[in-house]
Amino acid sequence: MNKSLRDLILARHQSATPRLDALRRAALPATPPTRGAFLRELFAPHRVAWRALAAVWIALLVFNLTVGRPGRAGRLPAPPPAAFAAWLAATNSHDVPVQTDVAP
């Protein structure tokens, strides 16, 4: 009888199937883990690291809210550059004076 290489390998290792099934049943849980169990397994071992990371984020948030951006409140927008003001004056159909001497 002419057997293929696949058939020879399967026949040789067929005796290992029951032992492998027993190992698989012992290693894997009977039911899949729930979402809560997964999250507990993810966060519980590294509880100190997660707390430290949360503390850093809270400190950054407090710092950002208390310091703010200096010089932004009450500042008027910068006047347009002289070239834009000249173009605006040339294309403006109304007789509205345009300030062209802008100090840097």
60-83 pLDDT, tens digit each: 999 988 886 666 555 667 777 787
* Spatial distance between the Cα atoms of 36 and 43, rounded to a whole number of angstroms: 11
Q: Which of 16-20, 41-45, 72-76, 89-93 has the highest mean pLDDT?
A: 16-20
Q: What rounded mean pLDDT belongs to the chain? A: 80
CB 100 within 8 A of CB 86: yes
* Spatial distance between the Cα atoms of 84 and 43, rounded to a whole number of angstroms: 58
| pLDDT (0 to 100) of residue 52 | 92
